[in-house]
Amino acid sequence: MLAALNKIQNGDKEIWELNGIAVCKEDKLAGFLSPEESKYALFVEDELKGGILTLSMAGMQTDDISLEIHRNKTKKSFTYEQGKVKIRIETDTHVFIAENHGLLDVMDEELVKRIEEAAAEMIEKNISALMARIQGEFNTDLFGFGEMVYKRDLPLWRQLEPSWDTVFPTLEVTVSSKVRAVNSGFIR
């Protein structure tokens, strides 16, 4: 993964802006991830240091809740069962409720629980969509799953390595996310 740059016009000057991630396979450009997809790539890599998640909770046409990411921890693991590698990605994200355009009662414990569940579902859905794109369109082990197998089970890696390019697109990836609002107005 490399940062993707885009030259844009800013008044009378041309400037460079970060605009997603360039995906490489075997030292060749395979394509680009959008800035939004890049955020979820950072989730997977456990490199997310902040940012904003937005969702709609009050039935508005636009997102009405902004969650500021305070910290995130991602764990990746694998199992090998019946000749198939299964990857598990688990995220644990702490957020602050930053904006509340729907004027929702964030003191209501049930509402905060629904916000946390909706945010976790959104993270799971977006990481799963990103993985499907990485496996299908790029077919490149962007997140180092092969390296993880190599480090944790060398005999298995030696068995899989010759055919990793055909194994990788068939990996079964499951995503599990937990989101906790840490400033919701009540103590847990």
In a domain, 144, yes or no: yes
The reported pLDDT for the residue numbered 133 is 96
pLDDT in tens, 125-168: 999 999 999 999 999 999 999 999 999 999 999 999 999 999 99
Answer yes or no: are the C-beta atoms of 96 and 181 closer than 8 Å: yes
In a domain, 187, yes or no: no
State how far the Cα of 149 lies from the Cα of 166, in Å rounded to an integer: 15
- What would the two tokens of residue 115 be? 């916000």
The reported pLDDT for the residue numbered 46 is 94
Per the DSSP assignment, residues forming a β-bridge with 16 are 7
Q: Which residue has the higher pLDDT, 54 or 102?
A: 54
How many domains in the chain? 1
State how far the Cα of 132 lies from the Cα of 122, in Å rounded to an integer: 15
Q: What is the mean pLDDT of residues 38-55?
A: 93
In a domain, 188, yes or no: no
In a domain, 90, yes or no: yes
Spell 22-57 as b/e; 16+ CB within 10 A means b. Answer: bbeeeeeeeebbeeebbbbbbbbeeebeeeebeeeb
Local structure of 57: helix, strand or coil: coil
- What would the two tokens of residue 66 be? 């902004």
> Is pLDDT at 186 greater than 60 in this prediction?
no
State how far the Cα of 59 lies from the Cα of 56, in Å rounded to an integer: 6
Name the phi and psi angles at 128, rounded to 5. -60, -40
Q: What is the mean pLDDT of the chain?
A: 89
Residue 91: give its domain's CATH number: 3.30.300.210
The reported pLDDT for the residue numbered 101 is 61
The side-by-side arrangement of strands in the sheet containing 2-10 is 2-10, 13-25, 28-33
The reported pLDDT for the residue numbered 187 is 38
In a domain, 186, yes or no: no
Residue 46's domain spans which residues? 2-181
Q: What is the mean pLDDT of residues 116-133?
A: 96
Burial of 59 (0-12, 13-18, 19+ CB in 10 A): exposed
pLDDT band at 175 (very low <50, low <70, confident <90, very high): very high
Name the phi and psi angles at 166, rounded to 5. -95, -25
Q: What is the mean pLDDT of residues 70-91?
A: 96
